[in-house]
């Protein structure tokens, strides 16, 4: 996002006195409240008074040279999937309206607060995080970056998270990613989204979709912004990111499944990006990934998402199924037909898949592939359930490959200014988070030139 402030530049401005946390928060609140903007569909709750009070506190601590971190006072948005003390976590649904307010912040939220970030509000999302498109029939659907007059989807499930960053309603966003829910909305809105190695960030205090696949990650304006937030979320030191030079990068392009049925704009942008990386000295190798063929059969009965979401929802959906989004309910209910044996088979098959894929990609620094097969479809075109299902699966397909192998991945904007947003995904085996950030930071400077 050219000329948009990053967490680093905002921290510099706060440190120098060029701005204050109160000014940053007031500006975000004004953008949320703008009747001509997307704020009313992007946020389900804005904690104006608390955000301003925290902003004033951070300004006071900074004056006393006691700020908890360099980034203290910067406002962030929180996906409606996370517990925030004193608030009801609805997960983008009406079925949880009468739930008790949370007694504690989710650990991910608590860690951001501890670093001094200001929680400005809760963002809209696909109900119960169960779609890569971002449509919400209960609270409305925020329009994505592309061609707003027509209204294109924002991507999901962290739809409001992406739009909050895109429109300057927050300077970073906390999201989740089960099959692309950080990376898809990032790709559809021309920002950066990160899915970490799952075990690095605790899932406590979140409404689950899939215990096996859920990950907690950031959406922001740059690779460095995501790396800063990721370090805080993982309770690791914030270390300056050193971009790796593109020259000498060993990058594998999986030709199995990941390049099938791409929209022309996605295919063109992806090939241009590969050429750019090659021209800068990157070593690009196209490889078959036969292991990816196993993922479709593994998910034929709904996979982990259906089995594990049904386990969590089975009583709630019996009592309140009439208020669920029907497109979400039907996917959850696929889990009812899975047996214990089916689920144990899934666990064993996934262990084998991870081991085989990790061995295949070990010689490379990273996999590189399009984040989504499609560009953001029009909201109006998805009124038909068949069209919705087709586009949802196309959005989720490539990202899901990485969740299934327990990997980590980042989506970078790869399109040129003025063109439809297209994301480039860089992915690695679980535990390679720092390397993926360094590679992405090196690519970020060259791929859109």
Active-site annotation holder among 181, 212, 215, 222: 181
How many Å apart are CA 244 and CA 248, to the nearest integer? 9
Burial of 288 (0-12, 13-18, 19+ CB in 10 A): exposed
My answer on whether omega of the bond before 157 falls inside 30° of 0, hence cis, is: yes
Distance of CA 18 to the CA centre of its chain: 31
- Active-site annotation holds for 181: yes
- Active-site annotation holds for 378: no
Active-site annotation holder among 21, 79, 164, 215: 79
Helix runs in 201-325, H state only: 223-233, 264-279, 295-298, 303-320
Active-site annotation holder among 21, 93, 131, 157: 157
Which H/E stretch holds residue 423?
A: strand 423-428
Name 250's bridge partners: 283
Distance of CA 157 to the CA centre of its chain: 8
How many Å apart are CA 216 and CA 206, to the nearest integer? 9
- Active-site annotation holds for 320: no
Please count the other Cβ atoms lying within 10 Å of the Cβ belonging to residue 393: 13
Return the DSSP state at 50.
H
Burial of 332 (0-12, 13-18, 19+ CB in 10 A): buried
The full DSSP string for 60-72 is: HHHHTT--SSTTT
Q: Which of 146, 179, 147, 145 is nearest to 162 (CA)?
A: 145
| Contact criterion met (CB below 8 Å) for 441 and 433 | no
Active site residues: 79, 157, 181
């Amino acid at each position: 996002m050219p000329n948009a402030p990053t967490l680093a530049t905002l921290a510099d401005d706060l440190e120098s006195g060029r701005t204050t946390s109160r000014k940053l928060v007031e500006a975000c609140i004004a953008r949320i409240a703008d009747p001509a903007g997307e704020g009313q569909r992007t946020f389900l709750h804005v904690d104006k008074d608390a955000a301003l009070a925290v902003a004033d506190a951070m300004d006071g601590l900074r004056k006393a040279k006691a700020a908890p971190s360099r980034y203290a006072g910067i406002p962030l948005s929180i996906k409606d999937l996370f517990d925030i003390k004193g608030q009801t976590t609805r997960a983008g649904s009406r079925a949880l309206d009468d739930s008790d307010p949370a007694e504690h912040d989710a650990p991910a939220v608590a860690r951001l607060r501890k670093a001094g970030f200001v929680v400005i509000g809760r963002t809209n999302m696909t109900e119960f995080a169960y779609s890569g498109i971002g449509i919400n029939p209960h609270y409305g659907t925020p329009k994505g970056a592309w061609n707003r007059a027509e209204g294109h989807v924002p991507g999901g499930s962290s739809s409001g998270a992406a739009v909050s960053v895109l429109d300057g309603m927050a300077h970073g966003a906390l999201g989740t990613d089960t099959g692309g829910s950080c990376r898809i909305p990032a790709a559809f809105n021309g920002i950066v989204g990160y899915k970490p190695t799952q075990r690095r960030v605790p899932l406590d205090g979140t409404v689950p979709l899939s215990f096996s696949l859920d990950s907690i990650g950031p959406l922001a304006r740059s690779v460095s912004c995501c790396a800063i937030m990721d370090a805080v979320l993982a309770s690791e030191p914030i270390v300056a990111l050193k971009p790796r030079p593109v020259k000498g990068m060993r990058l594998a392009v999986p030709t199995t499944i990941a390049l099938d049925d791409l929209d022309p704009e996605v295919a063109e942008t992806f090939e241009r990006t590969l050429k750019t990386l090659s021209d800068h000295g990157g070593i690009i190798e196209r490889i078959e990934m036969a292991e990816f063929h196993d993922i479709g059969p593994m998910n034929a009965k709904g996979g982990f998402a259906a089995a594990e979401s049904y386990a969590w929802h089975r009583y709630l959906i019996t009592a309140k199924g009439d208020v669920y989004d029907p497109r979400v309910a039907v996917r959850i209910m696929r889990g009812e037909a899975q047996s214990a044996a089916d689920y144990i088979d899934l666990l064993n098959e996934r262990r084998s898949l991870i081991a085989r894929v990790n061995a295949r990609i070990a010689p490379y620094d990273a996999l590189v592939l399009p984040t989504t097969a499609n560009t953001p479809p029009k909201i109006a075109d998805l009124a038909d359930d068949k069209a919705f299902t087709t586009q949802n699966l196309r959005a989720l397909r490539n990202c899901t490959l990485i969740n299934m192998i327990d990997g980590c991945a980042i989506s970078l904007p790869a399109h040129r200014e003025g063109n439809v947003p297209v994301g480039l995904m860089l992915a690695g085996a679980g535990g390679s988070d720092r390397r993926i950030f360094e590679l992405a930071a090196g690519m970020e400077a060259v791929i859109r030139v």
